[in-house]
Amino acid sequence: MSTSKLSVQLYTVRELLTEDTAGTLRRIADIGFTQVEPFAFLEFGDALRDGLAEAGLTAPTTHQGFIGGDLDRVFSAAQALGIQTVIDPFVAPERWQTASDVAAIADQLNEAAEVAARYDVRVGYHNHAHEIESTIEGTTALQFFAGKLAPEVVLEVDTYWVTVGGHDPRTLLPALGDRVVALHIKDGPGSTETKDQVAVGQGSLPIAEIIAAAPNALRVVELDDSRGDRFQAVADSFAFLTAEGLA
């Protein structure tokens, strides 16, 4: 098992991954990563399984929409790949506006967790800005949501989208506590324009302080998009985090 706290969300290199799954995973391993976070992993099938094995990579977490889907299919496939945590990456903004709707999302995660446990897998949720911008009973919808989750359900906090949503991840992360098992670490000006995102360490976010706010969490590098070469940004991010002792 890797001792590194670094991973990379494969959505960052989605075009390359689709064109050449095995070759792209080898290139990621050559950078120095030992862990990756797939997205929509069911769509890649054997190519992902074989590519991970060939590159010597593990996938402790994955993004895969499962709310309202075939839970047994998702979690059995995750178990077969050695994935420990399946994270639903998106629930539409309109479902985060009222206490009853947010509580219903939490109920769906809690129910999914019971199925996942049969496969020795746990479930989590990943935020965007809308769960931060929405206020429920005096707190962010994400915090209200966290309070409705079963203890075994976890969070992956996208620290960039927290910033876009108008909150400081350095204060939100401690408020969410140990439920946060992974962070999306990305950099840029904190704008809604995803092409403004840059390699970690080349933007304006206080990366070291953000990581210090959840020091035990997996640090998953991601760029939703960029004006530059995203694969090079992944390599530059790894170099920065390693040089700064944040790996």
Query: Angle 102-160-92 (CA atoms, 0-180°, nearest 5)?
Result: 30
Q: Among residues of the chain, what percentage have pLDDT more than 70?
A: 99
The answer to whether position 144 is within a domain reads: yes
Q: Give the β-pairing of 135-136 and 85-88.
A: unpaired
Is the distance from CB of 184 to CB of 224 less than 8 angstroms? no
**Selected residue with higher pLDDT from 2 and 133:** 133
Neighbours of 42 (CB within 10 A): 17
The answer to whether position 79 is within a domain reads: yes
- pLDDT of 126-155, one tens digit each? 999 999 999 999 999 999 999 999 999 999
Q: Give the β-pairing of 135-136 and 139-140.
A: antiparallel
- 40's tokens: 């929509």
pLDDT number for residue 2: 67
pLDDT number for residue 66: 98
Whole-angstrom distance between the N-terminal and C-terminal Cα of the chain? Answer: 15
- 233's tokens: 């940004």
CA–CA dist 238, 217 (Å, integer) = 16
Plot region of 211 (φ>0 → left; ψ -120 to 50 → alpha; else → beta) = alpha
**What is the DSSP-derived secondary structure letter of residue 35?**
B
- pLDDT of 89-112, one tens digit each? 999 999 999 999 999 999 999 999
The answer to whether position 1 is within a domain reads: no
pLDDT number for residue 3: 81
- Give the mean model confidence (pLDDT) for residues 215-233: 98
Is the distance from CB of 183 to CB of 223 less than 8 angstroms? no
- Give the mean model confidence (pLDDT) for residues 5-21: 98
- pLDDT of 174-214, one tens digit each? 999 999 999 999 999 999 999 999 999 999 999 999 999 99
The residue segments making up the domain with residue 237 are 6-244
Q: How many CA atoms lie within 13 A of 216 on its CB side?
A: 7
Angle between helix 21-31 and 45-55 (nearest 10): 30
| Bridge partners for 182 per DSSP | 156, 218
- Whether pTM > 0.85 for this model: the answer is yes
pLDDT number for residue 1: 56
Spatial CB neighbours of 100, under 8 Å, sequence gap ≥ 6: none
pLDDT number for residue 48: 97
- pLDDT of 23-49, one tens digit each? 999 999 999 999 999 999 999 999 999
CATH number, position 110: 3.20.20.150
- pLDDT of 47-69, one tens digit each? 999 999 999 999 999 999 999 99
pLDDT number for residue 98: 98
Number of domains present in the structure of the chain: 1
Q: Give the β-pairing of 122-126 and 135-136.
A: unpaired
Q: 161: closest CA among 227, 238, 223? A: 223
- Give the mean model confidence (pLDDT) for residues 219-225: 98
* Secondary structure E strands in 128-176: 135-136, 139-140, 154-158
Average pLDDT of the chain to the nearest whole number:
97
Spatial CB neighbours of 186, under 8 Å, sequence gap ≥ 6: 158, 159, 160, 197, 200, 205, 221, 222, 223, 224
